[in-house]
Structure 1
Amino acid sequence: MGIYHSVRAVTGASGDGPIDWEAVANAAKASVEPGNLDVSDAEREAYAADAKDARDRVREVTDIDFDLPDRVEIQNRHHWLDANVATFERVMRPLEQQAQTAPGLAQVANTGSMAFALRFLSKHVLGQYDPLLLADGEPHALYFVRPNIRHVADVLGVPYGRFRRWIAFHEVTHAAEFGAAPWLSDHLEANMQEAIDKLSGGDIDRTALGELDTTMTAVEGYAELIMDRAFDEEYDDMRRKLEQRREGQGPVEALIRRYLGLSVKRRQYERGKEFFETVVEMRDVETAGRVWKSPEMLPSDDELDDPAAWLRRVE
């Protein structure tokens, strides 16, 4: 373990592609501790109970008929890395197929950059609803990164069980969205594929990227809306402490988060939540859920800032 082994994995990158994915996994794992995954039967049952309770409450709030994914996993950081290295490799495969054989130094740089990004994320992701995009029909999955959940609960000074339950409720709202919109995976995949195809040809498809951004803003915003109404305990203190923790990050971590697009994700949360909260104030939760009827019902970028315009169009 350690930075030495991580550097060795990157500098030993091989193969014909621009990124050596095996070296990415090895380098990222070498530079981050996996974390404790000594889960008792009682704790495992508590995770399962939290997820089921979240499902039942979200069904009640939204009237969406959905179920939990077949794969609900309690992971350490290395497990999360394995799952997400596979995802990144799958998503980037079209770009790699278009690329020329990478010179040694370029391959090392590409491999190192990807390992660095995934290492950082593996230490910060708490839970993840994974629709396994571009995975040829594989079932969706729900991950809980236990070491990170325990660490952040300790840092925030909140009970681990209560914080774990909050994370479960948030991730299960995403399962509800994909259950309400069977077309959503295909819609995201199509926009991703268009953007990647253009990028592999040297162009940037701003339309596809814009549609991806507005779709994910709707996904994150609706999840926040439902989470607020479904969670069965007070949570303002946890949200406030998380915000304070983000605002208190150092300049290096702030730069990394910007580089990885995490500032964009936070904007999606905030902008999407404001849109849906306004829709509910003007109508109700049921009306907000109309976004999942079809791709055409999703708000446009302009409508995200003008919920009344969206209501005029869909009613």
Structure 2
Amino acid sequence: MDLLRSIRAVSEASGTGVIDWAKAGEAAKASTDPGALDLTPAERRGYAADVQDARARLRAVAGVEFDVPDTIEVQNRHHWIDANLATFHNVMGPVEAATNARLPDLSRVVNTGSMAFTLGFLARNVLGQYDPLLLADDADADHGLYFVHPNVVAVAAELDVAYPRFRRWIAFHEVTHAAEFGAAPWLSGYLESRVERGVDELVAGGLDRTAFSELQTAMTAVEGYAELLMDRAFDEEYADLRRKLDARRGGGGPVRQIASRLLGLGLKRQQYERGATFFERVADERGVEAASVVWERPEYLPTSGEIDDPGAWIRRVNP
């Protein structure tokens, strides 16, 4: 980790865009220890076995057919930054194109520094990631499944839990997202359209509340359904893992707390809880396969009101 090199990279931001993406990536990696990636053959087999076991268990429990991505990577933190630079760039593209800063050079340095901080913070904290490649340049590109091995090992030690058990839990959680996107080929396009509409309206100086509401509700369903499948499919008790990880998210120093709030990580936890409550109610009344109907077509997504009133969704979709 070289903070001076990171600062220098940000100060050298240039070009015509709002963010110098190459320098943002360079600065993020300079300020972030990549972490060790010297996996033993047994560890590599462990990751592969966890993913395949999760796929088999989730298929059986949810009653949905899906495959895991061909791209399954065990990464260090720098690999994760490289893998996500393009995603961030694609999302920010419309904003960059429409921005006309009064002091473009100064603005570019500030924005590049902010993006470098965001990438570095996430790279030090992400454990696993299912990447549906939203807004990717290649619409036919295979989705990705990543595990940031140094973070998995470090957090398992910090929480005082067995690393293989913790790794398996992370694998199950990320494969639940592969199950959702695999069962709903329309889901990526649905989310992309809401992101694009919301960003386009922001660029025009307005706010598309409908697009953001639909995006928020869909992501609540995505996170809540994942929680339901974890509860029903993981092959051992994990309440202690959830409790310890939640306590860790609530701790940390002031910089970590501020960054978590700015990046909306607390909001994501609310999505888990609100969505999980919805799907637990549906599954308790009609079974997990009835809850899985949500992925058959966009019209079956719950509305924001139905998230808080599962009975209304059941009456509409599963009468």
Q: TM-score, normalised by structure 1?
A: 0.98
Partners of 1:69 and 1:52 in 2: how far apart? 11
| Distance across 2 between alignment mates of 1:20 and 1:255 | 24
What is the distance in 1 between the residues matched to 2:304 and 2:11?
Answer: 43
Residue identity matched to 2:242: R
| One-letter amino acid matched to 1:181 | A
Match of 1:295 in 2: 298
Aligned residues: CA RMSD: 1.1
Secondary structure at 2:129 match in 1 = strand
8 Å CA contact 2:62, 2:288 repeated in 1: yes
Task: Tell me the alpha carbon deviations over residues 75-115 of structure 1, each in whole angstroms, 9 at most, x when there is no partner.
Answer: 00000001111110011112212223661111111111111
Q: Equivalent residues in 2 for 1:21-100 (5 A)? A: 21-100=21-100
> Which letter maps to 1:3?
L
Q: 2:234 pairs with 231, 234, 245, which one?
A: 231
Following superposition, the deviation at residue 43 of structure 1 comes to 1.1
- The amino acid that maps onto 2:69 is P
Of residues 193, 198, 202, the one that matches 2:201 is 198
C-alpha separation in 1, matches of 2:124 and 2:248: 15
Asked if 1:121 is matched to 2:122, the reply is yes
Per-residue deviation, 1:45: 1.1
Distance in 2 (CA, whole Å) between partners of 1:139 and 1:212 is: 23
1:3 aligns with 2:6: no
Residue in 2 that maps onto 1:245 = 248
What amino acid maps onto 1:115 in structure 2? A
Question: Does 2:90 align with 1:103?
Answer: no
- Which residue matches 2:279? 276
SS of 1:72's partner is: strand
The question of 1:159 aligning with 2:162 is answered yes
Amino acid at match of 1:123: R
Distance in 2, matches of 1:222 and 1:154, equals 28
Moved more, 75-84 or 132-141: 132-141
Matches of 2:18 and 2:254 in 1, distance apart? 30
The 2-side partners of 1:216 and 1:104 are apart by: 36
> In the aligned structure 1, how far is the partner of 2:165 from the partner of 2:118?
29
1:290 partner letter: V
Paired residue for 2:212? 209
Q: How many residues align?
A: 315
Residue 181 of structure 2 aligns with which residue?
A: 178
Residue 151 (structure 2) aligned to one of 142, 148, 152: 148
